[in-house]
């Protein structure tokens, strides 16, 4: 018992020390980067505002959400706090400026996070289609994967094509070099990541797992995650030369050996340092590698920071 208490005391000290490290870095370096003051006048249509004729896919810093469809996961006040990573619906996230959706499903097409369940995938698809019907120039990356420990839903690739066919941008490496205007009226890059079923092939309406990569770091220590994200990003080629999307997640994850298991207070340890991360990308000479930047509990300032870097790239300032 005593050793366990001692272990928890040390964990608390480690977390406090790592939060202080990020606070000190913020105080010494600030959060200034090219066009950092830029704010879209209309977040719902921010790609339209940046200029679709000049905005190439590989110049975008895509604001994204982690575990996007968990706003109603589990049982309220009982299991939900342990799995909820977003408090907005898919439509509300897109309206706020999110452009990358991370969806996990199980065999019956219900969205899940581990063993906890929420609504059917139809809810996600309907929200996406509603948003697309209300906008003209916004491109969405829709990543759907079979959750670990679950089976692939039967004929799910056919379902996605049936539901989104008119909007789907076919799998083609040339897409990365094209502008939004050149891709219209197609507006969804749908990455389907089954566990056992065949991966989508080149030319398919769907994209395979190799086109959206990340380096998942399972930790609740904010500075460890922050620095690991920077290191992994530095190992990537520039976004302008890649033929895949690379994601960095500004999140930390509850750990089973820590008494704080609810998502919001844990991920809050790093949540406020998104602009600092972008600033560090510039100061360390790796800003040209930043592409998909995701978060828990997305807010306007996170979107604005990503859009600002996108704007700076289009204007030749970054």
202: domain CATH number is: 3.20.20.190
Residue 228 lies in a domain: yes
Q: Could you tell me if residue 53 is inside a domain?
A: yes
Please tell me the total count of domains within the chain: 1
pLDDT tens figures, 18-45: 999 999 999 999 999 999 999 999 999 9
Would you say residue 15 lies in a domain? no
The predicted structure's pLDDT at residue 293: 98
pTM of the model as a whole: 0.97
Give the structural domain span for 267.
Answer: 21-315
* SS3 at position 96: helix
**139 is a domain residue:** yes
Range 108-118 average pLDDT: 96
pLDDT at 70 over 80: yes
Diameter over CA atoms, the chain: 64
Q: What is the mean pLDDT of residues 158-185?
A: 98
Is residue 10 scored above 90 in pLDDT?
Answer: no
User: Which pLDDT value is given to residue 132?
Assistant: 98
Look at residue 248 and tell me if it is in a domain.
yes
Q: What residues does 120 pair with on adjacent strands?
A: 110
pLDDT band at 7 (very low <50, low <70, confident <90, very high): confident
- The radius of gyration of the chain from alpha carbons, rounded to an integer in Å, stands at 19
116-125 contact pairs (CB < 8 A, 24+): 116/73, 116/74, 116/79, 116/80, 116/82, 116/83, 117/73, 117/74, 118/69, 118/70, 118/71, 118/72, 118/73, 118/74, 119/69, 119/72, 123/69, 123/90, 124/68, 124/69, 124/90, 125/163, 125/164
Report pLDDT digits (tens) over 252-295.
999 988 878 999 999 999 999 999 999 999 999 999 999 999 99
The 10s digit of each residue's pLDDT in 121-147 is: 999 999 999 999 999 999 999 999 999
Q: What b-and-e string marks burial along 73-108, b requiring 16 or more CB atoms within 10 Å of the CB?
A: bbeeeeebbebbbbebbbbebbbbbbbbbbbbbbee
The verdict on residue 1 lying in a domain is: no
pLDDT band at 1 (very low <50, low <70, confident <90, very high): low
Residue 37 falls inside a structural domain: yes
Residue environment code for 191-214, b if the CB has 16+ CB neighbours within 10 A, otherwise e: bbbbeebebbeeebbbbbeebbee
Does residue 16 fall inside a structural domain?
Answer: no
Q: What sign does the dihedral 146-250-38-245 (CA atoms) show? A: negative
Averaged confidence pLDDT in the chain: 96
């Amino acid at each position: 018992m005593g050793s366990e208490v001692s272990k928890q005391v040390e964990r608390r000290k480690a977390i406090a020390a790592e939060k202080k490290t990020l606070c000190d870095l913020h105080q010494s370096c600030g959060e200034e980067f090219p066009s950092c003051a830029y704010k879209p006048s209309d977040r719902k249509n921010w790609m339209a505002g940046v200029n679709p004729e000049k905005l190439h896919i590989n110049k975008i810093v895509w604001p994204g959400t982690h575990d996007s469809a968990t706003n109603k996961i589990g049982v309220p006040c009982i299991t939900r706090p342990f799995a909820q990573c977003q408090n907005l619906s898919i439509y509300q996230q897109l309206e706020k400026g999110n452009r990358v959706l991370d969806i996990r499903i199980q065999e019956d097409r219900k969205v899940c996070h581990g063993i906890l369940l929420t609504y059917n995938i139809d809810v996600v698809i309907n929200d996406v289609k509603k948003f697309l019907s209300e906008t003209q120039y916004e491109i969405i990356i829709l990543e759907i994967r079979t959750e670990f420990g679950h089976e692939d839903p039967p004929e799910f690739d056919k379902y996605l094509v049936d539901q989104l066919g008119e909007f789907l941008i076919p799998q083609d490496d040339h897409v990365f070099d094209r502008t939004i205007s050149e891709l219209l009226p197609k507006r969804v890059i749908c990455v389907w990541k089954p566990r056992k079923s065949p991966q989508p092939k080149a030319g398919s309406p769907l994209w395979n797992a190799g086109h959206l990569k990340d380096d998942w770091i399972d930790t609740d220590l904010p500075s460890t995650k922050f620095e690991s994200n920077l290191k992994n990003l530095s190992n990537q080629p520039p976004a302008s030369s890649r033929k895949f999307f690379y994601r960095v997640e500004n999140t930390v994850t509850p750990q089973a050996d820590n008494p704080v298991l609810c998502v919001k207070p844990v991920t809050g340890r790093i949540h406020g340092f998104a602009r600092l991360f972008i600033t560090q990308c510039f100061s360390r000479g790796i800003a040209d590698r930043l592409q998909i930047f995701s978060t828990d509990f997305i807010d306007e300032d996170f979107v604005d920071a990503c859009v600002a870097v996108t704007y700076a790239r289009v204007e030749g300032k970054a």
